[in-house]
Amino acid sequence: MCVVDRKDLGSWLGGTVPGAERPDWPGQRLGLPQTGAGSMAPLGRRIAALFIDWVLCSLVAAAFFGYRWGGHSGSFTPLLVFVVENVLLVSLVGTTIGHRLLGLHVQRVDGSVPGLAGGTIRSLLLALVIPAVIWDSDGRGMHDKAAATVIVRSR
């Protein structure tokens, strides 16, 4: 299991370092290609996949758990369904339904499937929102850094 260390947080907290070498493209420092399959996933696709997953999880919450849009009863139900979906699918196959539809894949930095620990860490931090919207120069959120994962294009 990989834990975020001080130097990982330094890229967010310390700002840019004068004279530091900047990568030519997101993911270059991780050994990822600039374009095509295996390259860093574009932000627009990631947001669209998140939206698809959220809508599907809301529909599941409404169909099976009595969730009502706009109602206060069970308002965390879609979030719980979302976390379960992410933990199971990302841990086992490296992709959620939204990711698969948009050609994205979550993998460990070494290219393997995240596994239960990585998928759980990533999903719980994603549900908190804030870690997911703080990125480093490669476009990886704190949730991906903590889980030692990266989201890449699968096609």
Using a CB cutoff of 8 Å and minimum separation of 24, what contacts does 31-36 make?
Answer: 32/150, 32/152, 36/153
pLDDT (mean) for 136-145: 91
pLDDT (mean) for 64-91: 85
Give pLDDT, residue 142.
94
Please report, for the chain, the start and end positions of each structural domain, with discontinuous segments joined by +: 36-153
The string of pLDDT tens digits covering residues 122-134 is: 999 999 999 999 9
Point out the least confidently predicted range of 9-13, 95-99, 117-121. Answer: 9-13
| Residue 113 confidence class, pLDDT cut points 50, 70, 90 | very high
Is the pLDDT higher at 13 or at 151?
151
Query: Please, what is the average pLDDT of the chain?
Result: 87
| Residue 44 confidence class, pLDDT cut points 50, 70, 90 | very high
The string of pLDDT tens digits covering residues 5-20 is: 555 555 545 555 555 5
Residue with tokens 């840019």: 16
Q: ∠ CA(27), CA(4), CA(131), 5° rounding?
A: 75
pLDDT (mean) for 17-44: 84
Which residues make Cβ contacts (< 8 Å) with residue 39, sequence separation at least 6?
25, 27, 32, 33, 152, 153
108 has a pLDDT exceeding 90: yes
Percent of the chain with pLDDT over 70: 83
Give pLDDT, residue 73.
58
The rounded distance, in Å, linking the Cα atoms of 136 and 154 is: 21
Nearest to 99 by CA among 112, 90, 108: 90
The answer to whether 118 and 108 are in contact (CB under 8 A) is yes
